[in-house]
Chains A and B, each alone.
Chain A
Amino acid sequence: MPLVKIDGLKKRFGDIQALKGVSLSINRNEIYGFIGKNGAGKTTTLNIFLSFLRKDEGEILFDGKPIDFTNTNYKQKIGYVPDVPAFPPYLTAREVLRVAAEFLGIENIDEKVDEVLAFVELQNIKRKVGGFSRGMKQRLSIAQALLGDPVLLVMDEPTSALDPVGRREVLNLVRRLKQSTTVFYSTHILDDAEKICDRIGLIDQGEILLETDMKTLRKKRHIAAYRLSASLSDNELKPLLEEIDGVLDVSIDEQGLLFVLDEERTQNRVLQTLIDKGVLIHSFREATPSLEDVFVEVLHENAA
């Protein structure tokens, strides 16, 4: 039984149908990447899951039980990290955590607060939250979310407002949580999802387009993309490749020349043509599709 099961979730804001029947499931002890562009419906889904927003239609099951908008008991088992965390600025990190711990009904408050402060490395910070950087607030947000030993950690774009250092810190924290809890990780930063997620759900315009685990995703979404280096420069090779029948797209990125073929068999024709033209091939290899490649491909498929 999945820990979270969302079925046919719909939400409308005025004329805009924000969610058009979102269905997904999250298994225990996995990091589930909820991926989509800004405005795709990720935050709306999370807000409904946390009863910040009412749903129009659909059902949400958490731990096998339906979530009721006015019943807050299920939140005992959930930790939530928003995209831009805000705390009363007149409190210190320890005071924020004490408040959160009391709301959660934790008994050994001091011990637990010390534990999570150490986990996010804020144990020596004495100043008030009003003077915290965004990265520190995000770490504090993770700390308060972990206080109640949650079964599920809901993270809404936790790295989107951070600089590269803060982003790396947050991703490292999430990696360390991998063994102990389930994470519902919403993001539009595909690189983040690729680094930490076990499974992904891809949402666009309020619809789930794809839901699968990362390994299957790469296998299923195999793109006939290749990288080539040869005796000619990338800029000299590009027009040669573009002339070959079956070569669909040729581009140059930071890793070099990348081209997509209509089918795998075309690679023989490409190599033969280049050799016939006197080009010395240094290397020819299959390019592993990134999550971004898959994301773009699925969006294009859906648009088509």
Chain B
Amino acid sequence: MKTLLKYDFQYFKKTSKWIILGLLSLFLSALSVLSARYMQELLRWALEQEGIDNVDFPPPTVFTAYEQYFANILQIFLLVVVFIALAMFTQDRNKGYATFFFAKPIKRSNYLLSKVLSMAILVFVTLFAGGALFGYYTFFLFDTFHVGRFLGALFSVFVFTAFIVQIGLLSAVLSKQFLKPLLITIGAFFLMSLFSIVKGGVFTVLPSHLLNTPYDIMAGDIGAWSALTPVFVTLALIVGLHLLSVHLFKHQDLV
């Protein structure tokens, strides 16, 4: 297992995936704060150039920065994570490296677990590194930052991302190619986005609700249990999907 993790991290390093994801996370963090703080001034200036100078914008608040940040992370960052994860999950079988690995005494369950764990660690580290930068800039530009709430919100984003990655892994097990699992995973994400609009009943505990949770947590509109329930449900689903992936992969023809 340790060897497999080492190989997977070597893949991130040699293919610069960790730099790509890390820089993206840092860039989105800085961009979110700056755009929240200065976007209205930019718009006002742009409108003045057109001779429109009577538009009043409400003053930017720290919550604008929070909204901007989570919107960027849950769209751009998540999409890039999906691309990186699926490239990693499918490349061994797609490019013929699988026979190199599986001619060795490697357990298929460990192989899959290593892929998911290494991806989860990469996402966690880059996400929270970006989060730290976001926190610093936010405090610097808005004089306030809700550390506890932000960490909770960021963790819910991480759990949702891990769930989407797990869907990617399952679809990659079902199809050896890159495109089909990619479309399935992105399709699942859009489905989640649609479900997130529904804010009552069973939908409040489903993974889709984690798309709302960060905003609710930052606004202080949600109790601890309401925030934690979809997190626990999603974690349980991640475990279930992973076990299903392992079961299918263990009994699958590789070539």
A-B interaction: yes
Binding site for B on A (CB under 8 A): 47, 50-54, 69-70, 72-76, 78-80, 82, 84-88, 90-91, 95, 99-100, 102-105, 144-145, 154
Closest B residue by C-beta to A154? B103
B15 CB within 8 Å of chain A: yes
* Residue in chain A with minimal CB distance to B6: A102
The 10 closest A-B CB pairs, nearest first, are A86-B96, A80-B103, A103-B104, A90-B14, A102-B3, A52-B254, A72-B105, A75-B105, A52-B255, A76-B105
Residues in A neighbouring B104, C-beta threshold 8 A:
72, 75, 100, 103-104
Q: Show 7 A/B contacts (Cβ-Cβ < 8 Å), sorted by A.
A: A52-B99, A53-B253, A70-B108, A72-B106, A75-B105, A80-B103, A86-B97
Q: Given the complex of chains A and B, what is the CA–CA distance between A90 and B87 in angstroms?
A: 14
Q: A52-B253, A103-B3 are in contact. Are A88 and B97 (CB under 8 A)?
A: yes
Question: Are B15 and A90 closer than 8 Å at their CB atoms?
Answer: yes
Q: Is B107 an interface residue (CB 8 A)?
A: yes
Interface residues of B in 43-98 (CB under 8 A from A): 95-98
A87–B103 touching, CB < 8 Å: no
B residues near A, CB below 8 A? 3, 6-7, 10-11, 14-15, 95-108, 250-251, 253-255
- Cβ-defined contact, B255 with A91, below 8 A: no
Contacts beyond the supplied A79-B103, A100-B104: 13 A-B pairs with Cβ under 8 Å: A51-B102, A52-B98, A52-B255, A73-B105, A75-B105, A84-B96, A86-B99, A87-B100, A91-B10, A100-B100, A103-B106, A104-B104, A104-B105
Q: Is the CB of B105 within 8 A of A103?
A: yes
Measured between beta carbons, the chain A residues less than 8 angstroms from B15 are 90
Give the residue among A52, A74, A87 with the most B Cβ atoms within 10 A: A52
- Complex Cα–Cα for A47 and B255 (A): 8
B-chain residues with CB within 8 Å of residue A88 when the two chains form the complex: 11, 14, 97
* A72-B106, A75-B105, A100-B104 known; A53-B3 Cβ under 8 A: no
**A94 to B100 CA separation, bound complex (whole angstroms):** 15
Contact A103 to B11, CB < 8 A, known contacts A52-B255, A53-B253, A70-B250: no
Known: A52-B254, A52-B255, A72-B107. A144 touches B100 (CB 8 A): yes
The smallest beta-carbon distance between B4 and chain A, in angstroms, is 8
Whether A75 and B96, one on each chain, are in contact in the complex, defined by CB atoms closer than 8 angstroms, is no
Contacts of A91 in B (CB 8 A): 10, 14
Instruction: Give every chain B residue within 8 A of A104 (Cβ-Cβ).
Output: 104-105
A137 to chain B, nearest CB (A): 11
Give complex CA distance A70, B250 in Å: 7
B14, B104, B254: most-surrounded residue (chain A CB, <10 A): B104
Question: Shortest distance in angstroms between A98's beta carbon and chain B's nearest beta carbon?
Answer: 9
CA distance in complex: A102, B6 (Å): 10
Q: How far is the CA of A53 from the CA of B252 in the complex (A)?
A: 8
The reply to whether A54 and B251 form a contact with Cβ atoms under 8 Å apart is yes
Q: How far is the CA of A95 from the CA of B11 in the complex (A)?
A: 12
Q: How far is the CA of A104 from the CA of B14 in the complex (A)?
A: 22
On chain B, the residues within 8 Å of A76 by CB distance are: 105
A104 to B254, CA, bound (A): 20
Which B residues lie within 8 Å of A85 (CB)? 100
* CB closest residue in chain B, given A82: B99
B100 → A minimal CB distance (Å): 6
Question: Bound complex: CA of A103 vs CA of B102, how far in Å?
Answer: 10
Nearest-neighbour CB distance to chain B for A100, whole angstroms, equals 7
Cα of A300 to Cα of B96 in the assembled complex, Å: 36
Residues of the A chain whose Cβ atoms lie less than 8 Å from the Cβ of B99? 50, 52, 80, 82, 86
- Would you give the shortest CB distance from A65 to chain B, in whole angstroms? 14
Most chain A Cβ neighbours within 10 Å, of B100, B108, B253: B100
- Nearest-CB distance from A102 to chain B (Å)? 4
* Nearest CB of B to A3, in Å: 17
User: Would you give the shortest CB distance from B19 to chain A, in whole angstroms?
Assistant: 14
- A2 vs B68: C-alpha distance when bound (angstroms): 69
Please measure, in the bound complex, the distance between the C-alpha atom of A145 and the C-alpha atom of B100, giving whole angstroms.
9
A129 to chain B, nearest CB (A): 11
CA–CA, A73 and B105, complex, Å:
6
Nearest chain A CB to B13 CB, angstrom units: 9
| Closest A residue to B104 using CB positions | A103
Tell me whether B254 and A86 are in contact (CB under 8 A): no
Q: Are A78 and B103 in contact (CB under 8 A)?
A: yes
Q: Which residue of A lies closest to B15 (CB)?
A: A90
Contact partners of A82 in chain B: CB under 8 A: 99
Nearest-neighbor residue (CB-CB) of A70 within chain B: B250
